[in-house]
Homo-oligomer: A and B are copies of this chain.
Amino acid sequence: MSIRKGRSVTISDVAEAAGVSRAAVSKVIRDAYGVSPGMRARVQSAIEQLGYRPSVAARALRGSSYRLGLEVPHVNARFMTQIMTGAKQAVSGTPYQVILAPADGPEYSTLESLADGLVDGIIAVSPLVDPAWLEDLAGRIPVVMLGRHDTPSGYDTVIGDDRTGTRAIMRHLFDLGHRRIAHLTEPEPVTAPGTGTPHAIRLQVYRECMAEAGLGDLVQVARRHDDSEPARQAAAELVARHDRPTAIVAGHDDIALDALAAVAAAGLRDRVAVVGYDNTDLAEHPLIDLTSVDQQGVEMGAEAATMLLERLQGRIEPRHYVATTHLHVRGSSVRPTSDRAETGGRDQLE
């Protein structure tokens, strides 16, 4: 039923076909007040017949595009899959849709390009952008930020309980008998104290727990060298040290995968424990079998989208949601080898 090729059918075409005004058609498609059943039927059938679809651009210009934007730092961050899944769930049944904009570089420009009228609201995972800048952005368009531990006034936040999650990991490792526990995390900027990023908190809590256990001098922090490189190299250096840790707490599952790779490559799979964060789908794979903290990524995504929808309905006062965490213990939680004299075989105690 398509009309002249190359030109799409507009609301005027429909109006003409149905013998009514453009405004009338608009009312019908918006399901607005003041439409008689007769007109509705005629318009609907014209719409059907012409295959009319409202232009998002025109709608956006006038008011809303019915699109929500999800900005994530990297295409391949596995955690974002959970967020996206949750967000899509939350908007299903509403006229809204979620589109994804991976930054893979400068986050400011990605966020701005989203805010430039493409979407009605933004969900973003951008730990490092300036709070003041965000408040400004939030003044122009509703914003929900994921993983920011500040309590801003202009936008909403959704975070996991990083303190509790990290403490659960540390307690678990202590219980297994680990003492020499290293932390493998993101590059410096993302983990600097005071930034309030999840990774900064996890690092800080790691330090706290070590100190509380009287292990302050065993603290070892390793980082991904480069923001775009995997953490495999850093992990390899960690396990090659003479004071090799018996356990590695990774900043998140992707890093944990790299740690596992390095550990496995060194033949230390059953001598060095690895723990991740996010409980991504791969963690439960039998070959990976990674202990990890579930911070309800899907719920976080759903909650973020819901908050955004509320803001689009007119809510002004900020909300801050904290997801609960749950530690999933799996095979990567090996016990520490009790001494160094054993020959390279299977030798953890138990």
Interface residues of A (CB under 8 A from B): 2, 5-6, 8, 53-58, 60-61, 65, 67, 69, 75-76, 81, 84-85, 88, 97, 99-102, 104, 112-113, 115-118, 136, 139-140, 257, 260-261, 264-265, 269, 281-282, 285-288
Given contacts A8-B140, A104-B88, A287-B287, contact A55 B261 (CB under 8 A): no
Which of A57, A69, A264 has most B Cβ within 10 Å? A57
What B residues does A100 contact at CB under 8 A? 99-102
What B residues does A53 contact at CB under 8 A? 112, 115-116
Q: Nearest chain-B residue to A58 (Cβ)?
A: B61
Dominant secondary structure of chain A at its interface with chain B = mixed
What B residues does A282 contact at CB under 8 A? 257, 282
A256 to B: closest C-beta gap in Å: 11
State the CA gap A170–B32 with chains docked (Å).
Answer: 61
State the CA gap A276–B13 with chains docked (Å).
Answer: 51
Which of A54, A84, A88, A118 has most B Cβ within 10 Å? A118
Given contacts A56-B116, A56-B117, contact A264 B287 (CB under 8 A): yes
What B residues does A101 contact at CB under 8 A? 97, 99-100
A269 to B: closest C-beta gap in Å: 8
Contact between A67 and B118, CB atoms less than 8 A apart: yes
Q: Nearest chain-B residue to A78 (Cβ)?
A: B76
State the CA gap A252–B267 with chains docked (Å).
Answer: 28
State the CA gap A31–B53 with chains docked (Å).
Answer: 33
A208 to B: closest C-beta gap in Å: 31
Please, could you name 17 A-B residue pairs with CB atoms under 8 Å apart, sorted by A?
A2-B139, A55-B116, A55-B117, A56-B116, A57-B60, A57-B118, A61-B61, A75-B81, A76-B85, A85-B104, A97-B113, A99-B99, A99-B101, A100-B101, A257-B282, A264-B286, A287-B288
Which of B55, B116, B260, B286 lies in contact with A61, CB distance below 8 A? Answer: B55
Which of B112, B117, B281 lies in contact with A57, CB distance below 8 A? Answer: B117
Contact between A6 and B61, CB atoms less than 8 A apart: no
Q: Nearest chain-B residue to A141 (Cβ)?
A: B8
A328 to B: closest C-beta gap in Å: 16
What B residues does A116 contact at CB under 8 A? 53-56
Which of B5, B54, B76, B260 lies in contact with A139, CB distance below 8 A? Answer: B5
A23 to B: closest C-beta gap in Å: 18
What B residues does A58 contact at CB under 8 A? 57, 61, 117
What B residues does A281 contact at CB under 8 A? 76
State the CA gap A2–B139 with chains docked (Å).
Answer: 10
Given contacts A84-B102, A101-B99, contact A56 B118 (CB under 8 A): yes
Contact between A118 and B117, CB atoms less than 8 A apart: no
